[in-house]
Amino acid sequence: MTKHNPSLQYAYNIIKSKLNIDWSNVTWDDLRKPINSGLAATLLMKAKHIRKVPENLEIQATVWSVLRPPQMAFQFVRKEAGIKIGIDHK
């Protein structure tokens, strides 16, 4: 959705000119670098016409669940807060 999207061409040009990253050559492994994963998330939000990154954790979770449909909002909150949800068995 973000690698070859004509509606994102302007963003690709900015990324190339400012960061010297050719987005068409970014691989899945490259997304382990925080700058690349942040860019990917931003491009995905732009592709989905989400104009502003919400500051509130709950709204961020809602956006995350829209961008990653099989994921649920509470999973995002759990990851952000570092809290394990579930029952431990001994």
CA 3 distance to own-chain centroid: 13
- Here the tokens at position 72 are 């649920």
pTM (two decimals): 0.62
- Here the tokens at position 36 are 């690349």
Per-residue pLDDT of the chain (90 residues; tens, 9 = 90+): 788 899 999 999 999 999 999 999 999 899 888 888 888 888 888 888 877 777 777 777 777 676 666 666 566 566 666 554 443 333
Structural domain spans, the chain: 1-53, 54-90
